[in-house]
Amino acid sequence: MKRKSIFTLSLLLSVLAFTSCEKNLYDESKQPQNDKTVADLVVPDGFDWKMTKNAQCTIIAKNKSAVSIYSDKECDESSMLATLQTSNETITIPLSLPAISKEAYLQYETTEGKKVVMAGVADESNTIHFALPENSKPVAQTRAEETRSGGSINYPNNGWGTIMFEDMFPSLGDYDFNDFVLAYRAQVPFYSDGNKTLIDAIQLGIQLRAIGGTLPYSPFLRLKKLPASSVEEIEVYQHFNTSVTEIEWSAGPNGEVIIDFSNLASAISKPSGSRYFNTEKEYTTTDIPELSIVIYMQEEVETQSVDFESFDFYLAKANQGTEIHLGGYEPVYDTYFSTHPNLGDDYYYSNKGLIWGLSVPAPIAHVIEKGNFLDAYTDFATWATSGGNDKADWYKGNKNSELLIKDN
């Protein structure tokens, strides 16, 4: 394709092993039992269960310098939100920040070779502003780079995110959040034309980590703000532990891009004797199906067309059947069951404010069959019942490894 040569695809998606081949048999009779499940939690009105949020970031500089932006002041690699080369113009890009955070951190190198970190706080419009000092180290320029600056945005950060679904919608289900478990990561290369930041491709990785449900759902991705008419091709350029080499995509009812990952789910091979895929402790697997994908544009679009919250991962039955989305996302083709007694007024929230899909900005372990999510992640209930204000990193805190399928 005409633009493929501008990308170094090796930047994206190193292969990660998310489970252990160790076979530790789970003995339910020996596990501590929590009388409550996620279905019993009482959460504050309006709690959206989101662990990330959209933000804008502007960078003003006089030099062409290499900088990186992080969500954590320690600037560790896993919290990297974007890397870019500044220019003598203002560059504005979308970022994905932790839901309770108002800060981002920019790291640059001075002309003396010292690395410096600047903190930026979001204003009332949720925009973080950085002004790069004049002592930032200029980068060496080639003739081809003299008029073009840019970089790459990471979603949800410089690593994998995890999406976990319950598939009993509109009923509440058992809330082990392992009926469908996906891992994903996206990199959005961009460049500045002096007025706007534009993209001509998106690099996407997706892994199918577990299927603990028996209902006939398949995973999809809607890019809510990206017109299908702007897309030239969607190519699978790498695949691991799967025979899938192509994926289907189409224009949705509003002209947006819809990517169908049904064949990734249908191509899985469950271990002999197992009922589910990678949710039974005695049948774990390291052979996680993974696709690396590039979405090529036939016309440039602005980076705002692919901000983090426009990535809508969801489940759907065949022939545009029942859909299950994260809370707050409207269905694509399905009719929302707004009259069902379990459902609230907002899309994919129950009348108690519960959800059927949970998105975590990290590659976390998922719960085994018959495991209680509240027992597996003991800080989760505090996070949910506080409306997300306490234990925001619940997935990093106390957990029961006997109830989890390891993520590495």
Structure tokens belonging to residue 367: 């719960």
The pLDDT value given to residue 33 = 58
pLDDT above 60 for 145: no
* Mean per-residue pLDDT, 286-302: 95
Q: Checking DSSP bridges between strand 180-192 and strand 103-109, what pairing results, if any? A: unpaired
* Mean per-residue pLDDT, 354-371: 96
Own/partner long-range contacts of 189-192 (Cβ < 8 Å, ≥24 apart): 189/6, 189/7, 189/150, 189/151, 189/152, 190/84, 190/93, 190/150, 190/151, 190/152, 190/153, 190/303, 191/148, 191/149, 191/150, 192/87, 192/89, 192/91, 192/148, 192/149, 192/150
Q: How confident is the model at residue 35 (pLDDT cuts 50, 70, 90)?
A: confident
Give the whole-angstrom CA distance, residue 44 versus residue 89. 44
In tens, the pLDDT along 8-27 reads 433 333 333 333 333 333 34
Give the whole-angstrom CA distance, residue 315 versus residue 301. 27
In tens, the pLDDT along 98-141 reads 999 999 999 999 999 999 999 999 999 999 999 999 899 988 76
pLDDT above 50 for 338: yes
Of the chain, the percentage scoring pLDDT greater than 70 comes to 89
The pLDDT value given to residue 31 = 46
Q: Which residue has the higher pLDDT, 9 or 278?
A: 278
Give the whole-angstrom CA distance, residue 383 versus residue 235. 39
Q: List the one residue out of 280, 211, 204 whose CA is nearest residue 236.
A: 204
In tens, the pLDDT along 45-63 reads 999 999 999 999 999 998 8
Q: Which residue has the higher pLDDT, 145 or 268?
A: 268
Half-sphere CA count of 349, side-chain side, radius 13 A: 18
Q: List the one residue out of 107, 177, 150, 149 whose CA is nearest residue 377.
A: 177
Of the chain, the percentage scoring pLDDT greater than 90 comes to 78
* Mean per-residue pLDDT, 76-82: 94
Give the whole-angstrom CA distance, residue 284 versus residue 356. 24
In tens, the pLDDT along 151-186 reads 999 999 989 999 999 999 999 989 999 999 999 999
Helix (H, G, I), strand (E, B), or coil: what is residue 41? coil
The pLDDT value given to residue 141 = 67
The pLDDT value given to residue 359 = 97
pLDDT above 70 for 73: yes
